[in-house]
Amino acid sequence: MKNRPPPLIVLGCGFTGAVVAGLRRASGGRVVATTRSDERAAELAQAGIEVRVLPALTAAAVDQLVPDGADVLVAFPPDGATDAAIAPSLGRARAIAYVSSTAVYGDATGRIDETTPASADGPRAAARLAAEAVYRERGAVVLRAAGIYGPGRGLHQRLLRGDFRMTGEGDQQGRNVVSRIHVEDLARLALAVLERAAPGEAFLVADDAPVPQIEVVRWLCARLGLELPAGAPREDLHETLRHDRAVDNAKIKRALGMTLLYPSYREGFEACLAVEAASPARCYSPRSALPCGGSSGSASSS
């Protein structure tokens, strides 16, 4: 009989955390998750997850939550104070994974991998790098995720709402290269690094197919029967939509010996649309059976 996995404590159980929690719960493991929302807590509890509703994470609260030998996933966005306050309380954890963002690479363009220098020039990148540092001091593995999408969240939803704009005009519209990762693949990789990655490692997480944004937009618009969105000046767009870079995922796949369920946007968005069509009132991850709402604590929808 296969041994049960150690308890998993999910600090900040939003979009990504919920899928990680659901996958670990499906394998028979105990999962304890934190949220600030009573509504979110009720949804998680229905999936067999123990929930603690906490308006804020404190060192004392985390110390009580994390038993000896537990795995810990940190999946909430940095606020400049909480990470440094709670990291010392994770000393009894068996393994820690921190969900970060490729925002730490600032304005870097072209192909990026783990050898690409990070930049703390902007406030978003600086906050992420500071949070990474305090967890890595405790042996955490850092996952620098590209744009996270899944059922109920992503570029397809933004196109349907009509609030997406691309960079550039005319022939240059949407030519910036974008990388993304399906939330289920991110969750699978997070669980794998908790199990077998070396403490203190940092990995880039993205799918196998970084492509110009216009390619994905055209494909989705054709699939959804929508007109192409208008372009906008680069300076008018959110910083996550201005990037022009291809994220190399070779290191994490090699280290863990894993392949992706959704290696490109085609497989990923088809899976999203199938889930959403099957449950139009609410969206669910196909494997975790958890609602997909909430904040990921990482990259923006792509």
Model pLDDT for residues 206-219, shown as the tens digit of each residue? 999 999 999 999 99
Burial class of 121 by CB neighbour count within 10 A (0 to 12, 13 to 18, 19+): exposed
Whether 113 maps to a domain, the answer reads yes
Whether 220 maps to a domain, the answer reads no
Residue 87 is encoded by which pair of tokens? 């990291």
What SS3 state is found at 32?
A: strand
Whether 293 maps to a domain, the answer reads no
Q: Which of left, alpha, beta for 126 (phi over 0: left; psi -120 to 50: alpha)?
A: alpha
Q: Are strands 50-53 and 71-74 parallel, antiparallel or unpaired?
A: unpaired
pLDDT at 285 (0 to 100): 42
**Domain coverage including residue 74:** 8-152+178-210+245-263
Whether 80 maps to a domain, the answer reads yes
Whether 215 maps to a domain, the answer reads no
- State yes or no: pLDDT of 293 exceeds 90: no
Q: Evaluate whether 66 touches 72 at the Cβ level (below 8 Å).
A: yes
| Model confidence pTM above 0.85 | yes
Distance CA 150, CA 148 (A): 7
Please provide the DSSP assignment of 178-230 as one string.
E-EEEHHHHHHHHHHHHHHSPTT-EEEE--S--EEHHHHHHHHHHHHT-PPPP
Within 10 angstroms of residue 1's Cβ, the number of other Cβ atoms is: 3
Model pLDDT for residues 126-148, shown as the tens digit of each residue? 999 999 999 999 999 999 999 99
CATH number at residue 42: 3.40.50.720
Domain count of the chain?
A: 1
Summary mean pLDDT of the chain: 89
Distance CA 302, CA 295 (A): 14
Please provide the DSSP assignment of 48-77 as one string.
T-EEEE-SS--HHHHHHH--TT-EEEE-S-
Confidence bin at 169 (pLDDT 50/70/90): low
Model pLDDT for residues 19-49, shown as the tens digit of each residue? 999 999 999 989 999 999 999 999 999 988 9
Whether 275 maps to a domain, the answer reads no
Whether 276 maps to a domain, the answer reads no
Task: Say what percent of the chain tops pLDDT 70.
Answer: 86
Whether 142 maps to a domain, the answer reads yes
